[in-house]
């Protein structure tokens, strides 16, 4: 079976690529989301769960930025210059995966006080929640398209044998 580069990345070098590129960033994002719910619903302004949320947000933001830079240099540029993409499904899977940086990096920068300095705590919590939700959406879109066999897309227009 032919597979997208996204899925090939996750299945190569088992279990390390799966842990590095999928498990760690997604588990951290889910932990961030769960702690976010506790913070919002209990109106927590400070304390252990707030600290946990901040540390995970900073770490995940910079961790995923590192993934983005690494994969952009080692995969996206070479695949784009050589025409090595496996149909548009492959581009969508990798593109949506890497677009996660648009959501996670601002969380880290906001937690460090670099952006959104003049926002109130409630406004920052709202932005934080929107950003983590955005990451989970693009990560799941990447997973869905990443699991598609690109060969079915190539065979779909004529659908011989039908």
DSSP 3-state assignment of 108? helix
pLDDT given for residue 71 in this prediction = 96
Residue 157 has pLDDT above 80, yes or no: no
Domain count, the chain: 1
Nearest to 57 by CA among 84, 72, 76, 39: 39
pLDDT of residue 1: 57
In a domain, 161, yes or no: no
Does residue 63 fall inside a structural domain? yes
How confident is the model at residue 158, as a pLDDT? 42
Q: What is the mean pLDDT of residues 103-114?
A: 97
Q: Would 148 be classed as within a structural domain?
A: yes
Residue 156, classed as helix, strand or coil, is: coil
Instruction: Please provide the average confidence, as pLDDT, over all residues in the chain.
Output: 92
Give the pLDDT confidence score for residue 160 in this predicted structure: 43
| 74 DSSP assignment | I
pLDDT in tens, 21-77: 999 999 999 999 999 999 999 989 899 999 999 999 999 999 999 999 999 999 999
C-alpha to C-alpha distance for 101 and 68, rounded to whole angstroms: 7
SS3 44: coil
Summarised one tens digit per residue, pLDDT across range 122-150 is 999 999 999 999 999 999 999 999 999 88
Residue 158 lies in a domain: no
Range of the domain at 71: 5-153
Residue 118 lies in a domain: yes
The residue-averaged pLDDT of 95-112 equals 98
Is 102 within a domain?
yes
pTM above 0.85, yes or no: yes
pLDDT in tens, 62-85: 999 999 999 999 999 999 999 999
Instruction: Report how far residue 86's alpha carbon sits from residue 106's, in angstroms, rounded to the nearest whole number.
Output: 31
5-24 average pLDDT score: 93
Which residues, in sequence order, are CB contacts of 36 under 8 Å at separation 6+? 53, 125, 128, 129, 132
**159 found inside a domain:** no
24 falls within a domain:
yes
């Amino acid at each position: 079976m032919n597979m997208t580069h996204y899925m090939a990345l996750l299945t190569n070098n088992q279990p390390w690529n799966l842990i590095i590129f999928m498990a760690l960033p997604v588990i951290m994002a889910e932990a961030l989301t769960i702690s976010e719910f506790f913070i919002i619903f209990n109106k927590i302004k400070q304390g252990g769960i707030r600290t946990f949320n901040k540390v995970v947000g900073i770490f995940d933001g910079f961790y995923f930025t590192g993934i983005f830079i690494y994969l952009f240099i080692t995969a996206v540029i070479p695949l784009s210059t050589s025409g090595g993409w496996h149909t548009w499904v492959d581009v969508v899977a990798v593109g949506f995966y890497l677009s996660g940086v648009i959501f996670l990096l601002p969380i880290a920068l906001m937690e460090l006080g670099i952006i959104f300095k003049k926002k109130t705590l409630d406004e920052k919590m709202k932005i934080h929640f929107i950003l983590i939700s955005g990451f989970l959406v693009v990560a799941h879109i990447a997973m869905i398209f990443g699991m598609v066999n690109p060969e079915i897309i190539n065979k779909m227009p004529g659908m011989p044998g039908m």
